[in-house]
Amino acid sequence: MINSSFYVIPSNNINMNHNRRKCSFCHCEGHNITTCNSNILSSVNNYLIYLKEHFTNNNDGNRILAIKDFENYLYDYCNESENNIKLLKYIACRFYNTRLRSMLQIVINQIILRLYDIDINWVSFHEYNFVPFNEHTPVRISYVLNGILLNHTNALYNNLQESNSLKNYEFELEKCQENTSIECSICYNTVQKINCGSFKCKHEYCIDCIEQLVNKKHTSCPYCREEIKNITCYNEEYYNKLTNNNLP
């Protein structure tokens, strides 16, 4: 009987081959999925590259539409069977730096980002992306890209509307009959009324602040928010300056 205070030391001659890990895809020893050279993985990945070009050409080079079609194809493929999902995850793990346990949306996003050479930081920090997004966000990449496009289009439209409203400004010159001073409600400087201007709502500001409002495409009075349509100047020099700056 062996005393419980004794320990059995394993022999150095024990064969350790049974501890060698096997590739989760091809089940061969000596490598894992990230370095697997299976012809199946390579062939399917080459087909993905072909599909990227196919959908791009079908949409006349429109990357947003091509990505949407490619993404739909991948989701339809995965919906056919569990084995298809596993195969796509193996390919993404081998060629696109994902994990086998990653969610399907993250896997497909990563494939698209890599194939279309899209910098994820460009997506994440784009000024027109209002959806928190990174490589672990389970949101379809096509939704995010389409949102950026729509927000950009809306911004262009709003800028155009603002520009059009500025071109419709009506400028008037009115001689100042009073030698008085006013406090500008924007910069709080006290200025002679002759160096001021007013809107249709009768609120008056110094001409420097009015010029900034015009240059920055503001369309409403800072005090009462009434739409700016008319600008009255009390000084011919400033009247000429503002009208010249506002020419189409």
- Nearest Cα residue to 192 out of 184, 200, 138: 184
Residues of the chain with pLDDT > 70, as a percent, come to: 81
Are 124 and 219 within one domain? no
Res 150: pLDDT: 75
In a domain? residue 7: no
C-alpha to C-alpha distance for 63 and 45, rounded to whole angstroms: 20
User: At 213, is the pLDDT very low, low, confident or very high (cuts 50, 70, 90)?
Assistant: confident
C-alpha to C-alpha distance for 105 and 41, rounded to whole angstroms: 20
Task: Tell me the whole-structure pTM to 2 decimals.
Answer: 0.54
Would the pLDDT of 61 be above 50? yes
C-alpha to C-alpha distance for 67 and 50, rounded to whole angstroms: 13
C-alpha to C-alpha distance for 227 and 206, rounded to whole angstroms: 18
SS (H, E, C) the chain: CCCCCCCCCCCCCCCCHHHCCECCCCCCECCCHHHCCCHHHHHHHHHHHHHHHHHHHHCCCCHHHHHHHHHHHHHHHHHHCHHHHHHHHHHHHHHCCCCCCCCHHHHHHHHHHHHCCCCHHHHHCCCCCCCCCCCCCCCCHHHHHHHHHHHHHHHHHHHHHHHHHHHCCEEEECCCCCCCEEECCCCCCEEEHHHEEEECCCCEEEHHHHHHHHHCCCCECCCCCCECCEEEECCHHHHHHHHHHCCC
Domain boundary among 124, 156, 188: 156
Residue 235: give its domain's CATH number: 3.30.40.10
In a domain? residue 234: yes
Domain boundary among 156, 190, 206: 156
Total number of domains constituting the chain: 2
Residues of the chain with pLDDT > 90, as a percent, come to: 31
Res 101: pLDDT: 92
Domain with 98, as residue range(s), is 20-156
User: At 4, is the pLDDT very low, low, confident or very high (cuts 50, 70, 90)?
Assistant: very low
Are 44 and 107 within one domain? yes
Are 145 and 54 within one domain? yes
Res 103: pLDDT: 92
User: At 163, is the pLDDT very low, low, confident or very high (cuts 50, 70, 90)?
Assistant: low
In a domain? residue 10: no
Token representation of residue 91: 């390919």
* Maximum mean pLDDT: which of 118-127, 170-179, 200-209: 200-209
In a domain? residue 229: yes
